[in-house]
Amino acid sequence: MQNNRSGLFKYFRDNNLKLYNSKIKTEVYLDLKTYFPEHSILEDNWKEIRKEILGVMDSGSVLPKFHEIDDGQEYISDNDGLAWSLLNLMMYNVWHKKNAKLCPKTTSLLKRMKGVTGAYFSVLAPGKHIPAHKGPYKGIIRYQLALKVPKNGECKIFVDNVPYFWTEGKSVLFDDTYTHEVMNNTTEDRVALLLDIKREIPGFFMRQYDCFVFALIQFMVVLNNTFGKSGLK
């Protein structure tokens, strides 16, 4: 559902998702032990992971906003004048070497997890609202580890209208091709580690097709100079 895209892109995106949805059926929220058992390693180390990203934030460096990295995302990132900022560590199996060096413990843990294809820290400013949207690619599922959750007020995500309230040090896994939105109705930042976990694709044809789509997205990441836009300011 990205805006500011060509008609050809939108046609491929919508029909591609329709094909995946015809072959793959999952619940909104997914069982962590079944789909990503390594989550327990991250939960065991969540305080060290939090220390690394808070250290980067406290260093005086400015994390780029999502729409500054991907200029097709203004409608969810630049919708209300409040920041949704990211520290990008990896996208579609390609590491951002400079950013990864800033978080060596986190990077070391993630490099042991073969199913992880994307990793970044997500920081929601106080009052930030991410409007309802859908992920465009069903080949991954979305993992979140809450690292800093505001103590007062409501900070939550809705996936297919089902709310989830973050708890520091705890994980959640969901299919982001369902409509979802986020609200941080507090006076504090919310900080989380977000991962893309590769989904097991059923059927020989779909697995081959998924390899093509994944490679195509990798190419688009390079073409868009996403890594060049992901550095700290």
Residue 70 phi/psi, 5-degree rounding, is -125, 105
| pLDDT computed for residue 1 by the predictor | 40
| Predicted confidence band of residue 101 (pLDDT cuts 50, 70, 90) | very high
In order, the DSSP letters of 158-193 are: EETTEEEE--TT-EEEE-TTS-EEEEEESSS-EEEE
Q: How far apart are CA 164 and CA 142, in angstroms?
A: 14
pLDDT tier for residue 232 given thresholds of 50, 70 and 90:
confident
Q: What share of the chain is helix, strand, coil (3-state, %, to 5)?
A: 35, 25, 35
Considering the domain boundaries, does residue 1 fall inside one? no
Query: Does any domain span residue 17?
Result: yes
pTM metric for this prediction? 0.92
Which residues are bridge partners to 195 per DSSP?
119, 143
In a domain, 136, yes or no: yes
Q: List C-alpha distances in Å: 178 to 17, 23, 161, 181.
A: 11, 15, 9, 10
Residue 104 is assigned to a structural domain of this protein: yes
Over residues 87-100, mean pLDDT = 93
173-213 residue pLDDT tens: 999 999 999 999 999 999 999 999 999 999 999 999 999 99
pLDDT, one tens digit per residue, over 34-85 is 999 999 999 999 999 999 999 999 998 889 888 888 877 888 888 888 899 9
Q: At what angle do helices 204-223 and 7-23 cross, to 10 degrees?
A: 150
Q: How far is CA 48 from the centre of its chain?
A: 20
The percent of residues above 90 in pLDDT, for the chain, comes to: 73
What is the residue range of 69's domain?
A: 7-229
Q: What pLDDT is recorded for position 225?
A: 76
pLDDT given at position 5? 55
Whole-angstrom CA distances from 175 to 27, 104, 147 are: 7, 28, 21
Give the percent of the chain with pLDDT over 70.
97
- Domain count for the chain: 1
Residue 113 pLDDT grade (very low, low, confident, very high; cuts 50, 70, 90): very high
pLDDT of residue 68: 86
Q: Is the distance from CB of 145 to CB of 49 less than 8 angstroms? A: yes
Residue 21 lies in a domain: yes
Instruction: List the single range of 63-72, 83-92, 109-118 with lowest mean pLDDT.
Output: 63-72
Q: How confident is the model at residue 9, as a pLDDT? A: 73
Q: What is the pLDDT of residue 66?
A: 86
Checking if the pLDDT of 6 tops 70, the result is no
In a domain, 183, yes or no: yes
The domain that holds 39 is classified in CATH as: 2.60.120.330
213 lies in some domain? yes
Task: Please list the alpha-helical segments (H only) found in 59-112.
Answer: 66-69, 74-77, 97-102, 104-110
Domain assignment present for residue 2? The answer is no
β-bridge partners, 155: 184
